Amino acid sequence: MQKRTLGKSGLEVSALGLGCMGLSYGYGPATEKDQAIHLIRTAYENGVTFFDTAEAYGPNLNEELLGEALEPFRDKVVIATKFGFVEGKPAMGMDSRPERIREVTEAALKRLRTDVIDLLYQHRVDPNVPMEEVAGAVKDLIAQGKVKHFGMSEAGVQSIRQAHAVQPVAALQSEYSLFWREPEKEILPTLEELGIGFVPFSPLGKGFLTGAINASTTFDKTDFRNVVPRFDVENRKANQTLVDVLSRIAAQKGVTNAQIALAWLLAQKPWIVPIPGTTKLHRLEENVGAAAVELTAGDLAEIESAVSGIEVQGARYPAQLASRVGR
């Protein structure tokens, strides 16, 4: 697989990464451990060198899983993890105090079976801790050799600028896809200006863009999508129009919906690295195949023309979670 560099950071990763959250958290029961390790190692065998986790995914379980899975080839991969929640539990609120950042980092190093974290993200901006203190704490960890690069997740333009002035931000991780194009307004221009890479999560619209989800789909009771307005039955019916457009274009190209959606993201900027997640080997192989799909200027214009008039229905987060993003 081709490599990409995240902004001006010099951090080189595979063009597509693997988001590992769903193996432990968020989308129903956790994947059986041996099966999950096999999937992660298969991703590596298929050219993926960029793996994303967080203290909050479990909590702690996902980091431990990734640490064991990647240990045999740790020096050949880039591991990203995150701090930012009380006790690693999103429901308990944010905590980005410098002492907490140090504590989380030390624990993550052990769980990941490594002596350095390649990319350490603030999971969400903490309104109670000045951004200068957060960036300063990570800067100290970088100076100590425990972290290589600083990242932010779902941050707004002001916070990004504040942090970047203290410690250069290597990458911003936020949602971006044909299902959610809000970053195009302010975020992408700011990242380009500052030389920051972009790591889109949910690049397949939490599975919706694949065409595998429709109005009759039911989710496990622990699945996060049950509380997402965009996944209400009526909104799924309304948003099927977007999936139908993708299906038509994918059929013309002889590829899948997922591959078109990922190839579209890759074509937006050379410093964008999507991190689709999956628990299934056949989906992993399908996603990896997207890196080889080339969209011409004509293809991109056709996609833009076809989707520009479609207004996606439903908020991407319930109100209490929406208040945590874009700060």
Q: Which two tokens stand for residue 255?
A: 């590829």
| pLDDT reading at 300 higher than 90 | yes
Looking at residue 38, its amino acid is H
* 3-state SS assignment for residue 253: helix
User: How much is the average pLDDT of 261-280?
Assistant: 97
Residues forming a β-bridge with 199: 173
Give tens-digit pLDDT for 250-265: 999 999 999 999 999 9
Domain ranges of the chain: 3-322
* 3-state SS assignment for residue 201: strand
Sorted by sequence, the CB contacts under 8 Å of residue 216 that are 6+ apart come out as none
Helices 281-289 & 33-45 angle (0-180, nearest 10) = 20
Angle, vertex CA 212, rays to CA 202 and CA 297, nearest 5: 60
Residues taking part in catalysis: 57
pLDDT at 163: 98
| pLDDT reading at 225 higher than 90 | yes
Residue 150 DSSP one-character state: E
Domain 3-322, what fold?
Answer: TIM Barrel (3.20.20)
| pLDDT reading at 191 higher than 90 | yes
User: How much is the average pLDDT of 218-229?
Assistant: 93
pLDDT at 212: 94
* 3-state SS assignment for residue 180: strand
Place 320 in a pLDDT band, splitting at 50, 70 and 90.
Answer: confident
User: How much is the average pLDDT of 298-307?
Assistant: 94
Mean of all residue pLDDT scores within the chain: 96
pLDDT at 59: 85
Give tens-digit pLDDT for 24-73: 999 989 999 999 999 999 999 999 999 999 999 988 899 999 999 999 99
Cα separation of 26 and 231, whole Å?
14
Rounded to the nearest 5°, which phi and psi values hold at 200? Answer: -70, 125
